[in-house]
């Protein structure tokens, strides 16, 4: 089997120990996943990857069967997207350290760029259920895709109400797609896919367990996929708070529903409102705030679509891949691509004229698409 560049991204994703930050480091140093994968031991030992992880990686790359892994994906009707793919969610692409690779079962459509995340406590009350149902029904009626984490409580209510209203919904997992958690939500997960009303997404390998450490990273994806995050009910110390923190960092709109002051599950939204979240009592409160953001995203996507990469050669494509994870100094590009300084500068100039890259000063470049 002839391996493609994207297959090496898959290999790095399957190997435990090299997450987005370390993968980005390797990509910056070597210029491509293939070069990093095939790099001699001595060169890899000069990277910032811990020695213990490298020793395991040396054994892993000798034993992995790429054909078997790809066949497993095909049999499970699961595909993967890398950050350079056209279908990779636009909102997610622009967060800090986006997942280099995501697994998808189901469909992600262009309209899913207009998503609102709905999150909250697993121990939902009758009040929390009522406001979640009311607000999600209104959001789906206005064409928003509902993003949540397939967890018990608010998450599952949000997914079910979206489906019940024939709206779209995306479930972001803290486990592999072949290991649905919690197990009682397997039917709900299957319904999202079988009704063609959304997708299951994970950055974790297919059979990954739902370990506690996976969920903070999962929460950054929930926020990253969305234009805004709605918290309907929750405590001040929870995964909900972690997602809200990501929302602030990613410059997404944050919304919170006030609740009875006698309920501990009203403390989370109340605390977020104090910190700047928009108080929500009806769907219109969300629509007013999100409309400007929606217009901005539409404008950005139209610009992006009118400037699809049209590489003149493989060197330009290699530079483009290197810049996917953020700005790079020309010296870093030289090091990552193994081209000479004059070659890199020539390509960057041509790419800048085509509107692919932008010089932001002092020898630093970013993608302009």
Write the pLDDT tens digit of every residue in 215-235.
999 999 999 999 999 999 998
pLDDT above 50 (res 89): yes
Are residues 149 and 246 in contact, defined by beta-carbon separation less than 8 angstroms?
A: no
Answer whether residue 307 shows pLDDT above 70.
no
- Buried b vs exposed e over 8-40: b needs ≥16 C-beta within 10 Å? bbbbbbbbeebebebbbbbbbbbbbbbbbbebe
- What are the DSSP calls for 137-155, one per residue? HHHHHTTPEEEE---TTHH
State pLDDT tens for residues 224-268: 999 999 999 998 877 787 888 889 889 899 999 999 999 999 999
Measure the CA–CA gap between 76 and 74, rounded to whole angstroms.
5
Let me know if 208 is exposed, middle or buried by CB neighbors in 10 A (0-12, 13-18, 19+). buried
Indicate the average pLDDT of the chain.
90
The reported pTM is: 0.80
- Label residue 182 by pLDDT band (50, 70, 90): very high
Helix (H, G, I), strand (E, B) or coil at 198: strand
Asked if pLDDT for residue 369 goes beyond 70, the answer is: no
- Domains 91-301 and 314-367 belong to one CATH topology: no
Could you give the CA distance from residue 111 to residue 154 in angstroms, rounded to a whole number? 23
Task: Name 48's Cβ contacts closer than 8 Å, sequence gap at least 6.
Answer: 22, 25
- DSSP for 278-297, please give it: EE-SSHHHHHHHHHHHHHHH
Q: Please give the share of the chain, as a percent, with pLDDT higher than 70.
A: 93
Q: What is the DSSP letter of 206?
A: T
Could you tell me which residues come within 8 angstroms of residue 150 by beta carbon, excluding any fewer than 6 positions away? Answer: 156, 159, 171, 172, 173, 180, 181, 185, 188, 189, 200
Per-domain residue ranges for the chain?
A: 5-69, 91-301, 314-367
pLDDT at 306: 47
Q: What does DSSP say about strands 328-329 and 357-361: parallel, antiparallel, or unpaired?
A: unpaired
Specify whether domain 91-301 bears CATH 3.30.530.20.
no
Query: What is the side-by-side order of every strand in the sheet holding 364-367?
Result: 328-329, 364-367, 357-361
Half-sphere exposure of 41 (CA within 13 A, CB side): 12
Mean pLDDT computed over 103-119 = 95
CB 169 within 8 A of CB 147: yes
Between residues 105 and 320, the one the model is more confident about: 105
* 3-class secondary structure, 253: strand
Fold of 314-367: Arc Repressor Mutant, subunit A (1.10.10)
β-pair partners for 358: 366
């Amino acid at each position: 089997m002839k391996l493609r560049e994207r297959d090496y991204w898959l290999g790095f994703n399957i190997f435990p120990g090299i997450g987005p930050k370390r993968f980005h480091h390797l990509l910056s140093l070597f210029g491509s996943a293939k070069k990093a994968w095939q790099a001699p031991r001595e060169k890899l030992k000069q990277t910032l990857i811990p020695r213990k992880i490298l020793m395991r990686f040396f054994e892993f790359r000798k034993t992995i069967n790429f054909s078997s892994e790809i066949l497993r994906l095909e049999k499970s009707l699961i595909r993967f997207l890398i950050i350079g793919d056209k279908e990779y969610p636009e909102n997610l692409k622009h967060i800090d350290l986006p997942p280099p690779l995501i697994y998808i079962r189901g469909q992600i459509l262009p309209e899913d760029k207009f998503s609102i995340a709905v999150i909250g406590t697993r121990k939902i009350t009758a009040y929390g259920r009522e406001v979640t149902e009311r607000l999600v029904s209104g959001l789906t009626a206005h064409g928003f895709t509902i993003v949540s984490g397939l967890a018990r409580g608010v998450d599952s209510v949000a997914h079910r109400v979206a489906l019940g209203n024939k709206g779209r919904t995306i479930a972001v997992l803290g486990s592999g797609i072949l290991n649905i958690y919690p197990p009682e939500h397997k039917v709900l997960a299957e319904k999202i896919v079988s009704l063609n009303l959304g997708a299951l997404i994970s950055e974790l390998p297919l059979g990954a367990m739902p370990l506690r450490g996976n969920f903070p990273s999962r929460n950054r994806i929930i926020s990253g996929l969305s234009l805004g995050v709605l918290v309907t009910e929750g405590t001040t110390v929870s995964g909900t708070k972690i997602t809200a923190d990501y929302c602030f960092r990613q410059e997404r709109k944050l919304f919170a529903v006030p609740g009875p002051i006698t309920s501990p599950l009203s403390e989370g939204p109340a605390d977020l409102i104090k910190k700047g979240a928009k108080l929500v009592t009806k769907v219109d409160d969300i629509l007013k705030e999100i409309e400007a953001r929606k217009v901005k995203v539409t404008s950005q996507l139209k610009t992006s679509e009118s400037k699809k990469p049209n590489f003149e050669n493989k060197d330009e494509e290699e530079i483009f891949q290197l810049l996917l994870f953020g700005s790079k100094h020309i010296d870093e590009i030289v090091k990552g691509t193994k081209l000479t300084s004059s070659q890199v500068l020539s390509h960057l100039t041509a790419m800048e004229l085509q509107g692919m890259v932008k010089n932001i000063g002092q020898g630093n470049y970013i993608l302009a698409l």
